[in-house]
Amino acid sequence: MPPFGKVLVANRGEIAVRVMKGIKEMGMKAIGVYSDADKYAVHVKYADEAYNIGKAPALDSYLNIQHIIDAAEKAHADAVHPGYGFLSENASFVEAVEKAGMTFIGPSSEVMNKIKDKLDGKKVANMAGVPTAPGSDGPISSLDEALKLAEKIGYPIMVKAASGGGGVGITRVDNSDQLVDVWERNKRLALQAFGKSDLYMEKYAVNPRHIEFQLIGDKYGGYVVAWERECTIQRRNQKLIEEAPSPALKMEERESMFEPIVKFGQIINYFTMGTFETAFSDATRDFYFLELNKRLQVEHPTTELIFRIDLVKMQILLAAGEHLPFTQEELNRRVRGSAIEYRINAEDPINGFTGNSGFITYYKEPTGPGVRVDSGVDTNSWVPPFYDSLVSKLIVYGESRPRAIEAGIRALNDYKIGGIKTTIELYKWIMRDPDFQEGKFSTSYIAEKTERFVKELRYQEEMRAALAAEIQARGLNRTTQPQRAVIQRSAWKTYGLNSQANVRVMW
């Protein structure tokens, strides 16, 4: 018996399609929503029913709570899945879903209100014994206060927006002059993106890696930690490549985080999926809590592949009141191999990762052993400029990390997208880089290697352009040459000439 009859997916793109697949496999109806810009999008076509929720800008559609609730009521939905981003961690949205008599597939509004922002998360982390970085315990009221605290904890520091995510409003600062430069700018960014300008500061970890832990909990106090994901390959604090498990951690280091993370969940009665983002120092081997993401993560497929579980289906079942189906020990025994995810973004790495909206003129996904693609586009799809640049995710699996890298190189070579620029070519260079292959990297990896990668990509693009021009020129020369007279030969003479040229033709 399916837990719900109809589930509305309050999102778009690849995550909407991914969630809808899980919903349909469980025997339920998948309800989609779309803005004017997404009228012909893949997730709209894939849904059993789809409803327009407003104009192209997200504020008028995917961030409009009342429009989504109206669509859910019109569709007679029993539950709402938020995906990630947009309203997925908005307590007011969860309250609206619950007030309308529907189930929110995620933590309850009560839980959401306990962790409204990163600073709330840091307070609970301290209570639970989850390691936190030195810094402010609350919002910093002024630049003068920030300068005094920075001198106390020592540079470099990270200035962070208390609300939101996605790397917005987060800046590394190495001295007081930089702090003066970024303070007001980050406040404006935070206000524009999240509606709150609160900033706080933390000590910057030495040679940091970005490692996150997957907490899974039911409504009855049962918890497991589905190990971790390495999210260190990023630019401007936005992830590009993720993998599971991390190549940096020893088993005892990994397990040292399980107990405090579970205690965190117990303190606030957390349930369904939650992700603990941490900074991990290769130099000191210390973890520092960054934030709790109260939703499904973009990179969840890597965990699914190494544990052979479906996190979307499990999230739905846990929200419906099911018990956890395994213990920590049972989950640990399921781990196999290594998985890597590549975020295929409509961006131009050669020109500072600028967005590249437009129509996709050709689309061919890679296939074969150990290859999975979660996509929200197809040939003729329009990639609009209004939303995140992610168009699909390529996920590969191997029995070991080197085998996963091999599968990734092959799949990246096989992935063809025409009409827009993407990050695929960049990832090919990263996969061949010895530092990546040996697992030697920090969050500054892309910044440090950008110049070399861009040089290689630009040379590659110039060679392709030169080759295309040469081919076109030769084609034009052929068409301008006078036509040669066609010599008519009998079939017997042709056969005889071929026979003399190659004796194998005769037999």
Q: Cite the active site residues.
A: 295
Contact present, 62 and 11 (Cβ < 8 Å):
yes
- Between CA 238 and CA 168 the distance in angstroms is 8
Which strands make up the sheet holding 208-217, listed edge to edge?
Answer: 287-293, 272-281, 208-217, 223-235, 238-244, 338-345, 390-398, 371-375
Q: Which amino acid does the sequence have at 248?
A: A
To which residue do tokens 């490692």 refer? Answer: 211
Residue 121 near residue 291, CB atoms below 8 Å: yes
Place of tokens 């076509």: 45
Burial code (b: 16+ CB inside 10 Å, e: under 16) for 184-219 equals: eebbebbeeebebbbbbbbbbbeebbbbbbbbbbbb
- Helix pair 300-307, 311-319: axis angle to 10 deg: 100
Q: Is 152 helix (H, G, I), strand (E, B) or coil?
A: helix
Mind giving me the DSSP string for 280-326?
EETTT--EEEEEEE-S--TTHHHHHHHHT--HHHHHHHHHTTPPPSS
Give which of 201, 69, 105, 223 is closest to 146, Cα–Cα: 201
Question: DSSP class of residue 97?
Answer: H
Q: Answer whether 374's CB lies under 8 Å from 41's CB.
A: no
The two beta strands, 354-355 and 103-104, are unpaired
Distance CA 273, CA 390 (A): 22
- Residue pair 17/42 in contact (Cβ under 8 Å)? The answer is yes
Give the residue among 188, 207, 206 at the shortest CA–CA distance from 197.
188
Closest CA to 70 of 8, 5, 24, 6: 8
Q: Using CA atoms, how far apart are residues 132 and 7, in angstroms rounded to an integer?
A: 38
Q: CA 30 to CA 40: how far, in whole Å?
A: 17
Of 204, 240, 228, 245, which is closest to residue 439 (Cα–Cα)?
245
Instruction: Give the Cα-Cα-Cα angle 339, 439, 408 (nearest 5 degrees).
Output: 35
Give the long-range contacts of residues 468-477, CB within 8 A, separation 24 or more. none
Q: Give the span between the Cα atoms of 91 and 98, in whole angstroms.
A: 11
What is the 3-state secondary structure of 171-235?
Answer: EEECCHHHHHHHHHHHHHHHHHHHCCCCEEEEECCCCEEEEEEEEEECCCCCEEEEEEEEEEEEE
